[in-house]
Amino acid sequence: MKVLKFGGTSVGSASSIKNVKEIILNQPGSKLLVLSAMSGVTNQLVELSEMVRHSYVTGYSGKIDEIRKKHYDLVMDLIPQDSVNHNVISDLESILQELEVTCRLPWSRNIEARILTTGESLLTLIFSAYLKYEDVENTLLDAKTFMHINNLENPDTLYIGELLNDQLRLSSQHDLLITQGFVRLNEKREVSTLKRGGSDYTATILGAAIRASEIQIWTDINGLHNNDPRFVENTKPVAHLSFEEAAELAYFGAKILHPQTISPVIGKNIPVYLKNTFTPEATGTRISAISEKKGLKAISAKDEITAIKIKSNRMLMAHGFLKKIFEIFDKYETAIDMITTSEIAISLTIDDNSNLDQILTELDNYGEISVDTQHSIICVVGEGLIEDRGTSRLFEILQDVPVRMISYGGSNNNISLLVDTRNKIEVLQKLNEKLFMNQLINQV
């Protein structure tokens, strides 16, 4: 069985959904579809959740009406036959009425998750009904019955597979299964999410759970590009990446992939394809266990980075000092991205400031603290990158813009630079010129 995930832009209109149907029908064999909400709907649901959070009770009914109209219009476009679309709209109304009830409850993280995951429920219901209207038999599955994930970083794919098989035994057996991305049940069996963009993660978790033959992630981009096409001209899709290369790029900001997407399939030898829904004939990017070529592959950037420097003449070299520093970040469940040390100071970066004040209060006991916000990590990735003779060219960037930190040697496949976000676009463009345009490092 293949797992195919389609993102919000891929299912954002009636014409896009018809295009997705053709993509599905052109692929033989059994398939499990993972669908996002319609493009823009999750943003509307975020606004709705904020209204509930701030007790803006007079506004949420209007927001729900906007969502209702968007989905009703989609049904009318896809299923013009009144006798059929009436039943679909009735089912949609049940979901929307449940949403209205949820919005009347006191706001909590669980209420927020129940609101935010409504878009996937609405879209999968419409998509399944549309395919049946077109005589394409399918089974619609509720992801909440099997996406039980206690630990976001390490989902139990074996357990998820068992739960999914239980559902399949209870339902009609078809070669086409449809379910929702993004949603999960947490350790308390409450509705929660896989965070924004998490439908990719759903796809690879399920792919690992059912030992899929392959996983396809369909978006509106021709695969993963060798630099950010929003800021750099003449970027090219990378034909092939290893799991390790893709994981580095995803974690450090490649927008086409959720940061944790690759982790469930590493070691399971399940290839992942990144494809464009609107140009399905394009090759895209293949991610697998095999590294077909060494050297530079791609550059990505991760924003909203905070750099923290701890200066201590008296304690830095003392036994156990670093352990105490790391324990503070562990206490507040805050991951460290980059770290450098000198004889009297340690600098590190984080991308989550939710507990920054508490962390700084405790760090203050260990030395003089300075904090720089609004920075970006520029990540240069490729198999055996630090062994490539041309890699040193990237350090010419030091002549052009200030670089706050450099991480070199921690991985053979990754060199990271920390820069002020105001310089990010300039750095991406100059690195593209030095490393790709001048062809001083082999391109893919």
Regarding the domain delimited by 2-220, which CATH topology (the fold level of the hierarchy) does it fall under? Carbamate kinase (3.40.1160)
The alpha carbon of 269 is separated from its chain's Cα centroid by a whole number of angstroms, namely: 21
| Residue, of 167 and 22, whose pLDDT is higher | 22
Residue 442 — very low, low, confident or very high, per pLDDT cuts 50/70/90? Answer: very low
pLDDT value at residue 293: 77
**If you average pLDDT over residues 199-226, what whole number do you get?**
94
Sequence-ordered list of residues with C-beta below 8 angstroms from that of 433, at least 6 positions apart, any chain: none
Q: Over 80: is that where the pLDDT of 255 sits?
A: no
Q: In terms of Cα–Cα distance, which of 410, 414, 362 is closest to 388?
A: 414
Going from N- to C-terminal start, the domains of the chain cover: 2-220, 297-437
**If you average pLDDT over residues 41-68, what whole number do you get?**
91
Regarding the domain delimited by 297-437, which CATH topology (the fold level of the hierarchy) does it fall under? VC0802-like (3.30.2130)
In this structure, the dihedral spanned by the alpha carbons of residues 401, 236, 250 and 418, taken in order and rounded to 10 degrees, is: 0
CA distance 334 to 386: 28
Sequence-ordered list of residues with C-beta below 8 angstroms from that of 263, at least 6 positions apart, any chain: 153, 204, 247
- How does the average pLDDT of the chain come out, rounded? 90
Residue 307 and residue 418 in contact, taking contact as beta carbons nearer than 8 Å: yes
**If you average pLDDT over residues 305-328, what whole number do you get?**
82
Sequence-ordered list of residues with C-beta below 8 angstroms from that of 70, at least 6 positions apart, any chain: 38, 40, 41
The one-character DSSP state at 298 is: E
CA distance 23 to 266: 26
Least confident piece of the model among 157-161, 180-184, 233-237, 313-317 = 313-317
| Helix H or strand E segment including 214 | strand 214-219
End-to-end CA distance of the chain: 30
Sequence-ordered list of residues with C-beta below 8 angstroms from that of 172, at least 6 positions apart, any chain: 139
**If you average pLDDT over residues 80-89, what whole number do you get?**
91
Q: Tens digits of per-residue pLDDT, 125-148?
A: 999 999 999 999 999 999 999 999
pLDDT value at residue 153: 86
Q: Over 70: is that where the pLDDT of 315 sits?
A: no
Sequence-ordered list of residues with C-beta below 8 angstroms from that of 65, at least 6 positions apart, any chain: none
